A = this chain, B = another copy of it.
Amino acid sequence: MTVTTPKGFRASGVAAGLKPSGNRDVALVVNDGPDFTAAGVFTGNRVKAAPVLWSQQVLKGGVVRAVVLNSGGANACTGTQGFRDTHATAEHTAAVLRGGPKPQLIGAGDVAVCSTGLIGELLPMGKLLPGVAAAAKALKADGGVAAAEAIMTTDTVAKSAVVQRDGWSVGGMAKGAGMLAPALATMLVVLTTDASAGNEVLDAALRDATRVTFDRIDADGCMSTNDTVLLLASGASDVQPTAEELAAAVTEVCHDLAQQLIADAEGATKHIAIDVKGAASEADAVEVGRTVARNNLVKTALFGNDPNWGRILAAVGTTTARFEPDRVDVAINDVWICKGGAAADDRSKVDLSGRDVTITINLREGEMEATIWTTDLSHAYVHENSAYSS
């Protein structure tokens, strides 16, 4: 139930020796057509990894026939040599695919590249290129699970999702312990569909979907150099859904994967939804939710099972959203401990013993709302991010 569920795709994941653990670290997803349309969204970080710069160019061409992904190295902040290495990886991928059992009209310019791992070090090309060749040999119509495994870094579980529609489907795989716009623990996502759709329709569907899913999860507020979300369409189902139908299916898969990312975020002990209601605009709701999600004092309080609504209100106070301090209501797990900006229901009524926490903030300025998903700030987060370079 992953990238190879939609018809027209093969995938693989192999161990090339990039990870010291010996686990799978090179993945390949190949679109066998008949269509090769695609869309992509990339990190907003101005320091972009070589594979991001490369894949942005590939996407401009409008055709993606294969995606090659590696864990064990981000190839970010690696200068011109890093970019040459990405280019060589795409060239090699195209070459081995042209020589494979299903010869394709494929050039390097049709190959998107994704990398994840430590920033600032060159990739061991002597291991990566043979790994790409092995991945090409290992391509299978049910290879999506192996591919999802090969892109894991600090992930504890592989992440896949699929939605089935009448005669067509959307599948996806993801890795990441952080998040899109925010996440240094790079988020990589490959989505596939056997629907038939032009590049503009795919692009609109992907942007609609990421805006309300990956863009609304926030593990630690840190933006990666490598975040990439790709959507490839093979048209192999011969079904052409409407733009709305496609966007809805892609959003559903993205939502599923986003929740899996948050559930597996580094060191998290809480899965927190911040529901902002009564906002004057959606942008206000997102800003408030994101600001609360990034506040270390809120995050440590929740780790400590402390319903500290004062820290939430103080975080709201740092935003530019329309609100009056003496009108804001805050609930934690449905207990309205703050009404009109001051203490209301008894904080001891808030049960924070479970993993799931919902913070509801009513700005009482309008009808707009948004939900941001985040995690707490725990000892395990500090441990994981201080003990290992990543």
Residue ranges of A at the interface with B (Cβ–Cβ < 8 Å) = 44-48, 74, 76-79, 81-82, 118-121, 184, 220-225, 295-297, 300-301, 303-304, 306, 308-311, 313-319, 323, 325-326, 338, 340-343, 377-379, 381-383, 385-387, 389
* A315, closest chain B residue (CB): B222
What is the bound-complex CA distance between A338 and B47, given in angstroms? 14
Contact partner of A379 (CB less than 8 A), chosen from B78, B118, B225, B379, is B379
Question: Known: A222-B297, A342-B82. Contact between A386 and B314, CB under 8 A?
Answer: no
Verify A382–B300 contact, CB threshold 8 A. yes
Question: Known: A224-B314, A382-B300. Contact between A46 and B325, CB under 8 A?
Answer: yes
Chain B neighbourhood of A381, CB < 8 A: 296, 300, 382
What is the bound-complex CA distance between A383 and B389, given in angstroms? 23
What is the bound-complex CA distance between A225 and B318, given in angstroms? 10
- Shortest CB-to-CB span from A211 to chain B, Å, is 19
- Shortest CB-to-CB span from A182 to chain B, Å, is 9
Contact partner of A341 (CB less than 8 A), chosen from B77, B323, B379, B389, is B77
Question: Known: A45-B317, A46-B317, A317-B46. Contact between A119 and B310, CB under 8 A?
Answer: yes
- Shortest CB-to-CB span from A120 to chain B, Å, is 4
Q: Which of A120, A225, A295, A313 has the most CB of B within 10 A?
A: A120
Verify A184–B297 contact, CB threshold 8 A. yes
Verify B385–A296 contact, CB threshold 8 A. yes
The 5 A-B pairs with the shortest beta carbon distances in the complex, nearest first, are A119-B310, A304-B386, A47-B317, A79-B342, A300-B385
Chain B neighbourhood of A223, CB < 8 A: 314, 317-318
Q: Which of A297, A323, A325, A383 has the most CB of B within 10 A?
A: A297
Q: Which of A47, A341, A343 has the most CB of B within 10 A?
A: A47
Verify B317–A79 contact, CB threshold 8 A. no
Q: Is chain A's binding surface mostly helix, strand, loop or mixed?
A: loop
Q: A46-B317, A119-B311, A379-B382 are in contact. List 11 more A-B contacts (CB 8 A).
A: A46-B323, A47-B313, A74-B310, A79-B326, A184-B297, A222-B315, A224-B314, A225-B310, A297-B385, A306-B386, A379-B383
Sample of 30 A–B contacts (CB below 8 Å):
A45-B314, A45-B317, A46-B325, A47-B341, A74-B310, A77-B325, A77-B341, A78-B343, A79-B326, A79-B340, A119-B311, A119-B313, A120-B313, A120-B338, A120-B342, A184-B297, A220-B296, A221-B296, A222-B295, A222-B296, A223-B314, A223-B317, A224-B314, A225-B310, A225-B314, A296-B296, A300-B382, A300-B386, A308-B389, A379-B383
Q: Which of A323, A340, A383, A389 has the most CB of B within 10 A?
A: A389
- Shortest CB-to-CB span from A272 to chain B, Å, is 14
Chain B neighbourhood of A383, CB < 8 A: 379
What is the bound-complex CA distance between A316 and B120, given in angstroms? 14
Chain B neighbourhood of A295, CB < 8 A: 222
